[in-house]
Amino acid sequence: MDLTSLFGPDYAVLLLAIACVASLRYLRSLLDWKARSQGLPLPPGPKPLPIVGNLFGLPKIKPWSGFQDMRKEHGDLVYLRVFGKGLLVIGSVEVAYEFLDKRSANTSDRPESPVIGLSGQESNFGLFPYSPWWRQHRREFWQFFHPGVISKYQPTQRTEVRKFLGRLLNSPSRFKSHIEHMSASAILKLVYGIDIVDEDDERIVIPHAALETTRRSTPASFAVDLFPILRHVPSWFPGAGFQKVFAECKVANDYLKHAPFDEAKEALERGDSRPCIVADMLARAKMNSTDSTDLSDEMEDMVKNVCATTVEASADTSLSTLQAIFVAMALYPAVQRKAQAALDAVVGPSRLPDFTNSAALPYIHAIVKEALRWCVVSPLGLAHRTLRDDVFHGCFVPAGTTVHANAWAMLHDPATYEHPDEFRPERFLRDGLRAPGPTTTALGADSIAFGFGRRLCPGRHFALESLFITVASVLHVFDIGLPLDADGAPIQVKFEQSHGAISYPEDCRCTVTPRSKAAEALILAAHE
């Protein structure tokens, strides 16, 4: 039985025509691919299945560890495909530096994702595509966070850290929420001039809530990225619970973009504004505007975006790294004692550490660097995307390839960091002085942890300053130990990082007690 007898002659001709067109298009795509790739192979990687590619071979939990296993088999470049989209995972510092830094003109884009719009992340300029609009945002941000200006934020950082010490003294078991309060309070005051007084102020948790989808985003973690049509599925539909998460994030992001800005702008118009970044940005924008009396919608939008992104970005880095340091001090008491001995020698018993002690406390800086290495805040980094076809290490890398630098693998490579699972600040000291670390490039752990190329976090200098003064202050007046059971016996905590694009220690339990009555008096005096 032939097609003509089944469907009639016209239908058979139509099917034949469709088959011919499909064959021609397939042949054309093969020829186009051959011309684009110049006959070169794709980077090595697991063999893909038809249509779905490597979807079922992607590591589902803590993918940085699974990609590290793939690196052992395939090398520093591991290429995977998911429904025809390319994913390149880089496993070494040297290769990441060569591809993402030296070729940054081609590797600084961000992947498109429906999740960004659904969760209200359109204002986060860290997720913007590589464009003049992104460069304008980053340039504006840099004006307020380059190394030459961040010292003016030290009074606020100092004040918020000392308030944190007081809260820690009063309720040490809540140290995680106290860290969140300190980070949010400091950045909201610096950016918007807002004073957070109430412990339950909703503005403390808004930055954390706004980043929920970012925290969950690992390769192919959201089905809507693979099937964009799912963005139209209502939240009540079975299996569409992700829509509720997106909606909650969108509310938080919309609030963060508009509410604090409007509050600061209204205070400025009343003449009741406190010195803050948003006031300086508005003044700069008006100075550069053709209309000195009012801002264009575009300029005001940029100010809102930069300010909201600043608050978001500061929240999770501090929270994750400081949690890791508390756990590390409980697990490695010798490190804690060494740090406290250095603080006692430099600062003395009658005052708290200050930024002026920074140069004389290399071991505190080494603890911060080791924490960034040991507990990598963003284990796979934020994804890059190639803009154009490229040839790298003899392989063809197509335009539109998503690129992840496996920062966790780089910072836990035993060839570079001996016993990488151990917390050893001495890795970052040479003859007792600060050193970038045992890498074969100019990039140290405190750089790798913040990204690569033109997407390197521009707020890293401020973050490192904040971490230094917090760690120095806490260790000067507190002892951190293992948690205790009901009988007062120590509970051995095992350090593990949580799953997600932004990662935290899974178990943060510890005890926090004043080192002495004199230390307690210092805290109380500073907190008054």
Phi, psi of 199 (to 5 degrees): -60, -30
Full DSSP string of 388-452: S-EEETTEEE-TT-EEEE-HHHHHT-TTTSSSTTS--GGGGEETTEE---S-SSS--HHHHTT-S
Neighbours of 363 (CB within 10 A): 22
Determine the Cα–Cα distance for residues 61 and 53; give it in Å rounded to an integer. Answer: 19
Chain mean position to CA 475? 26
Cα 86 from Cα 109, distance rounded (Å): 14
CB 205 within 8 A of CB 176: no
Residue with tokens 């004692």: 337
- The letter for the amino acid at 385 is R
Residue with tokens 């994030």: 249
> What secondary structure, in 3-state letters, does 75-139 show?
CCEEEEEECCEEEEEECCHHHHHHHHHCCHHHHCECCCCHHHHHCCHHHCHHHCCCCHHHHHHHH
For 252, other C-beta atoms within 10 Å of its C-beta total 22
- Residues 6 or more apart in contact with residue 106 via CB below 8 angstroms: 386, 387, 388, 390
249 in a labelled binding site: no
Dihedral in degrees, nearest 10, Cα atoms 215, 220, 223, 227: 130
At 256, which amino acid appears? L
Structure tokens at 399: 């335009």
Residues that constitute the known binding site for heme: 457
Residues that constitute the known binding site: 457
